[in-house]
Structure 1
Amino acid sequence: MLAKRIDPAAGAIIMANGIFLYGGIQAFPIIDQNLGKLLSILLFLAWLVIYWRLSVQFFQKNFLRPFLNNPIQSFTIGTWIAGVSVLCNVLLKYYPAALPFLQGMAVTNVLLWAVFLVTMIKSFKKLLTKQTKTLHGVILLSTVGTQSIVILLKNLFNWIPIMFVEVLVFLGIGFYVLGIYLLTRRYVLTQWTLIEDWKNTNCIIHGALSITGLAMVTAQLMTTPFMVGFWLFVLTLVILVEGIELARAYQRVKKLGFSQGIWTYHISQWSRNFTFGMFFAFTVALNESSAYQLPKGLIQFQDILLPLWAKIVLLSLVLQIWLYAQTQIKYSKLSLK
């Protein structure tokens, strides 16, 4: 029988589906109005199953120490934190009366982030002193997890001091700068190939900035010119990184065929769904915020982009769920043999 160990990055499943319910679903009113509440409950149930298994595994002796001592894999704790943050925001959206319960979840999540903070610092120290060819975008979950806490606190607690929020936002930006430095050093100073060494998690290069932007908009930080420039920079990164992804997909299909090239499930693929959904959420929040007076031309461009991007978010999520379901069915059949 196959091992039943759950991947530490499984929290990304909650992140990817949750960010669609938080943002992207609003572009599809029929789905939102008729299925939104049901889908949020299903997300909560999925969270219970995944996080229970993660919790049990986390405290196993043969897992905990090697996991925390791994300077790359340990960053996947960021998916646990961001997953809870997104879930709380989704449940608040559909069930506002659950606020006291969600606030309890939020406090627990902040405590988990504090543990993650210590782990991140130790892992960054190791990575700074030792070059590694296996480094990839998972280290940017340091930013994602931190900024998810900002959005969570601002949405669930209206008394959070703005200074505390600013510290968290800039801490997340600091983690991003450090992560980009390490990734740049890895890809500039070592030999690599697009097919084998460019990882799915590298899409967090733009996703981490999208959630940073959403955090800043949620907290109403920065000036309008800054946010306009920031959004355009994120859009540029989306185009560049996803352009690399398309080139990689083409090369993989050419070399390995469609099934082995791109139609093979891996847990890290959920990061792409999350980053797509997060860019949509950031763009909508900036577009609709009364705190910023965006140029008319930018508003018109975003109004055209958002419906198109929403369809990309939904289509990519449906395809990912389909691929995941196929893999789980195959796994179940193998485990029965």
Structure 2
Amino acid sequence: MAPTLKAEIPSVEQTGRILPNPLFGAGSNQLSLNNSPDSHYDDGFVYVDQSILDMFPMPMVSGHLSHALDKPNTLVITRSKAEKYFKNNPIGQTIYLNNNKSKAYTITGVIEDMPNNSTLAGYSFFMSLAGEPFYQGEQTAWLNNNYTVYVKLKPNVNVALAEKEISKNYLEIHYLPEHLKSGRKLNPLFKQAKITLQNALDMHLKSADVSDDKVSTLNRGDIRMVWTFATIALFILFIACINFINLSTANAATRAKEIGIRKTIGSSRKLLIGQFLVEAICYSVLSLIIGLFLSWLLLPVFNQLANKSLTIPWIAAYFFPSLLAAILVIGVLAGI
């Protein structure tokens, strides 16, 4: 599908495939280094096109990213695996999989480890898809769905029109004729079928309901869980504001004398309200500073326990304006 889309759809600039299916050698493998008799079991193997490295540039430690996987039986590994198996530069070293000495994979590049919030998290060995098909007709069979396909559209292309072009090309020109030729019964819902494109930025959090027919192990999150926990956090914050109001009300009797003296010396109602609001905002600022300090202090421990790579976005453009807005809103709500 990927090569055909690039060749036949004018709006498509580039395509790339990922093959995580263990039936073809992805997933876990037994590997041996060069001519060493020792072997090791490791996971994180996946097949990718060179174009995947072009479409999603990864930080390169050594090697040339632009043509690392151009040739068959080539391999790009992550820094942690390079340090685990090779003391010196691994470029040019060979790896054999599952005691198959007739097929050597040559290491052509080393990249940084995938972050835990990446769609490709968990992959450490990127094997080239260039070369011979896995079986006869595998590259030209339209009824198989082993690959995850990435499509890069040309600039200023209408996504909806591109989806229509791709749907017509795939379903009507290629898939349907081969399906009928195979003698299989056509699903009545086929007439309603269409190809939809998903923005790569939406994949991690908005793919929970997307089925990959059990062949894809791409790392996915769920935006609904994000909103759920955000709602819980806001509810807890609201309760904290209510508690502060209750404490302020309970403390009002002890401050009645202070308020009376201030009124006596000429303080107006507006001035007193302003004083209480400023006090509440100061409490919010102090609480925020303590909260940020505790987050900075404990976040590495949480990341280690939860196997995450969360960070505090100190330099993000929205970070400090959002904090300022939160201080004002919470301070005003708590001080009313």
TM class, shorter-length? under 0.3
Q: Which has the higher strand share?
A: 2
Query: TM-score, normalising length from structure 1?
Result: 0.22
Higher relative contact order by CA 8 Å / sep ≥ 6: 1 or 2? 1
Q: Which has the higher helix share?
A: 1
